Amino acid sequence: MRPLLAIKFFLAGMVIFIVASTVSALHAFRAWELKYSAMATAPKDWRYPEVLKGEKPASLLYFTAFDLDQRTLIQRCADLAEDLKKSDAKIVLFPFKDGIERTPENMKSLERMKKTGIVILGNKWWSDVRPVELMDRGSWWSGEPVAGYRAADSLTSMWGPLTIPGSGPQDYYEFVPYGVRHTWEGQLMYDATIQAIMRFLGTGEDAVQLSDDEFRIGSHKIPLWGEGIAYAKGWKEFREPWEEMAHVEANMMTTALKYNGSGKKSSLEIYRGKIVVIELIDFRTFVWPTLGRKVWYIINSIMNDNFFVRTDSWEILLMTTFLCGSAILLFFFPTGRILVGLLLSGVAFLFYCRWLIASHNIILDPLYPLVTLAISLLLFPIVKLAHEKHALTEEVKSMNERVKALEGELKNEEKAS
C-alpha cells in the first residue's frame, strides 16, 4: 500500500504546487502582501532616524491653511513661492492631493509660480491605491493638476506625478520613479521627487540609467521591483528639528502670509540652496503622515541611498522546499509530531525574513511560501488519513472475509463429523 500512498502524495503535491504558483503569479492576496514586512520594519521607538542625520537636501515647510477656498489657497502658494525665490531656495515642491480648477484667477497665480523658475507641482495620481496593487504598468496613469491641460500648455513643464499613496504602510513607502504615463499624451514620466532631484543636481536625462532592477540618477541608485516599484524606508514617527523648518500660516482674515506666527520672512533664509517641500496642513482632511512629509522623506532617502530591496527570486524555491519537505516528512513519520514541527519551521521562516530586513535591508515576503505550507499541512494529512482509512477498511473487509471463510470451514468440519 505504500507505493499507492506515494502516488497519491505525488498527485496531491502537483495540485498544491499548481494552486500555490497560480495564487502567487496572480497576486491573489495583494491586500496582505508585505503586511509582515511592515510589522518587521516598525521602529523600536519614535526617535529621529539615523539616516536623516546625513545629507538632507530637502527640508519641510509647514503651511497651515485655515478655511481657504482654492482660489485663495493657490494665491497664497504663489506668494510663498515668490518669497522662497527671494530667499534663494533652489526648488519648491507643492504636493497637491486634489485637482486645481482651471479659472482665470488660478491660472494667473500658476503663471506667477512658473515665473519663479523653481516650482514643481506634484500631482497625486488618480487613485490612492498602492502601486503594488496595480501590478500592470498599463494601469499607471496620471494627469496634470489643472483640469483640461495638454502638453502644449505653457505650464506643463512645472508639474510631475506623485506616485506615493496617501494611505498604506508607514514603515516603507512605495513609489514609481519612472513609468507612469501621461493621461492624454501617453509618454512615460518621472515622479515629481525625481524631477526635483534632477533639477537640484543640475542633471538631465543623460544622467539617468534605468534597468530592470535599478534606477540610477547621478551617483544615487534606487532598487526596483516588479514593474519598477521602489521601497523607500519609512518611519512611523520621523521628525525634523524645529530649527531647520519654518511655519507659514494663511487665513481668510488677512492677505499677508504669517511666518512663524509673525509677518517676518527672515525665517525662510534656512531654505537657501535647498529643496523645499511644502507640507500643506488642512485640518479638515488631515491624515498622518501627510503627503508632503512622505515626499520630503523620499527625496532625502534617495540622496542617502536609504531603500529596501524587495526580492521574490527565492519565492518558487521556498514554496517548493516547503512542499517537498512537508510531503517527505508526513509520508515517513507520524502526522501529529510532524505537523507541530512544520508549524515551528513556518515560525522560524518568519524570523528569518525579519532578520533579512533588519540586517540586510532585503524584503522577502513570506506570504506565498507560507500559503504553500498551509495548503500542504491541510491537504497532505487529509490524503494520508484517507489512505489509511481506506487501507483499514480494506483490511477489515479482508478479515471479515477470512472470518466467514473460517466459519464455513468449521461448519463443513461439523457436518463431516
Percent of the chain, pLDDT > 90? 7
Closest CA to 61 of 37, 89, 35: 89
Cα–Cα distance, 249 to 66 (Å, whole number)? 8
0.85 cut: is pTM over it? no
Mean pLDDT of 36-54: 52
Tell me, what's the pLDDT at 196? Answer: 92
pLDDT tens for residues 113-148? Answer: 989 989 998 887 655 566 666 556 666 777 777 766
Q: What is the mean pLDDT of residues 374-396?
A: 85
- Model confidence at 315, pLDDT cuts 50, 70, 90, reads confident
Predicted pLDDT at 45: 43
Per residue, what are the HEC states of 234-260?
Answer: CCCCCCCCHHHCEEEEEECCCCCCEEC
For the chain, what is the mean pLDDT? 79
Give per-residue pLDDT as tens, 268-314. 888 888 999 988 776 566 667 778 888 888 888 888 888 888 887 78
The helix or strand, by DSSP H or E, that contains position 190, with its residue range, turns out to be strand 188-190
User: What are the structural domain ranges in the chain?
Assistant: 2-39+313-411, 55-303
What pLDDT, on a 0 to 100 scale, did the predictor assign at position 305? 82
User: Looking at residue 46, what is its pLDDT?
Assistant: 39
Judged against a pLDDT cut of 60, whether residue 51 lies above it is answered with no
Q: In this structure, are residues 78 and 113 in contact, taking their beta carbons and an 8 Å threshold?
A: yes
d(CA 378, CA 176): 38
> 223 or 40: which carries more pLDDT confidence?
223
Does pLDDT of 154 surpass 60? no
pLDDT at 48: 38
C-alpha dihedral, 229 to 230 to 233 to 236, nearest 10°? -30
Q: What does the pLDDT average to over 249-262?
A: 70
Q: Going along 27-139, which residue ranges are E strands?
A: 58-66, 91-96, 119-124
HEC profile for 306-323? CEEEECCCCHHHHHHHHH
Q: Which range scores top for mean pLDDT: 59-68, 192-201, 331-340?
A: 192-201
| Lowest mean per-residue pLDDT among 205-214, 235-244, 301-310 | 235-244
Non-local (6+) Cβ contacts of 203 within 8 A are 217, 218
pLDDT for residue 285: 62
CA–CA separation, 294 vs 164, rounded Å?
8
- Grid cell at residue 11: 498527485
What is the predicted pLDDT for the residue at 244?
60
DSSP-based helix, strand, coil % in the chain, nearest 5: 50, 20, 30
H helices of 46-144, in order, are 70-86, 104-116
Q: Check residue 85 and give its pLDDT.
A: 92
* Amino acid, res. 290: T
Average pLDDT over residues 14-42: 78
pLDDT at 236: 46
- pLDDT tens string 336-382: 878 888 888 989 998 888 888 878 888 888 889 999 999 998 898 88
Cβ neighbour number for residue 9 with a 10 Å cutoff: 20
Q: In angstroms, rounded to a whole number, what is the distance separating the alpha carbons of residues 58 and 56?
A: 5
The pLDDT of residue 152: 41
pLDDT at residue 50 tops 90:
no
In whole angstroms, give the CA distance from residue 277 to residue 75.
17
Q: What is the mean pLDDT of residues 5-33?
A: 84
- CB–CB of 67/251 below 8 Å? yes
Q: At 379, which amino acid appears?
A: L
In this model, does residue 1 exceed pLDDT 60?
A: no
Phi first, then psi, for residue 93 (nearest 5°) are -110, 120
User: What pLDDT sits at residue 284?
Assistant: 60
- pLDDT class of 387 with cuts at 50, 70, 90: confident
Q: Is 42 helix (H, G, I), strand (E, B) or coil?
A: coil
pLDDT, residue 141, reads 72
For the chain, report the end-to-end CA distance as a whole number of angstroms. 41
Q: Give burial (CB, 10 Å; 0-12/13-18/19+) of 117.
A: exposed
pLDDT at position 371: 92
